[in-house]
């Protein structure tokens, strides 16, 4: 003879909702770290073919990685300089348009 079990559907739903809240709170708390990790992963995936190209040309892997990182930093620095100059010009242009 089977013993009737109490209906625990409501308890399961409540437990799942509580778990979801805890997971979302953890993601929100660690958002800065998660963004940095995803950005690093993106750069690693995008720049890996260039490192492989250097390795096929006979350059050792640590040297190839160093070359790629230095070139990337120089390119990003140049890009930031150009963007800063363009944004400065844009803000000056917008001020003159607003005044007139």
Query: What pLDDT tens digit does each residue of the chain (100 aa) get?
Result: 677 676 678 888 899 999 999 999 999 999 999 999 999 999 999 999 999 999 999 999 999 999 999 999 999 999 999 999 898 888 888 877 787 7
**pLDDT value, residue 97:** 73
**pLDDT value, residue 30:** 92
**pLDDT value, residue 73:** 94
Residues in the chain: 100
Task: Compute, in degrees rounded to 10, the torsion defined by CA atoms 68, 73, 75, 81.
Answer: 180
**pLDDT value, residue 12:** 87
**pLDDT value, residue 67:** 96
Residues 92 and 96: their CA atoms lie apart, in Å, by: 6
Q: For the chain, what is the radius of gyration of the CA atoms?
A: 27
């Amino acid at each position: 003879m089977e013993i009737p079990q109490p209906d625990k559907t409501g308890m399961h739903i409540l437990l799942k909702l509580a778990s979801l809240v805890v997971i979302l709170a953890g993601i929100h708390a660690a958002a800065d770290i998660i963004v940095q990790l995803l950005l690093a992963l993106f750069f690693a995936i995008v720049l890996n073919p260039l490192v492989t190209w250097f390795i096929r040309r006979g350059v050792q892997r640590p040297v190839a990685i160093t070359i790629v990182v230095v070139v990337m930093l120089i390119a990003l620095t140049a890009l930031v300089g150009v963007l800063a100059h363009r944004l400065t010009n844009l803000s000056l242009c917008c001020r003159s348009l607003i005044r007139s």
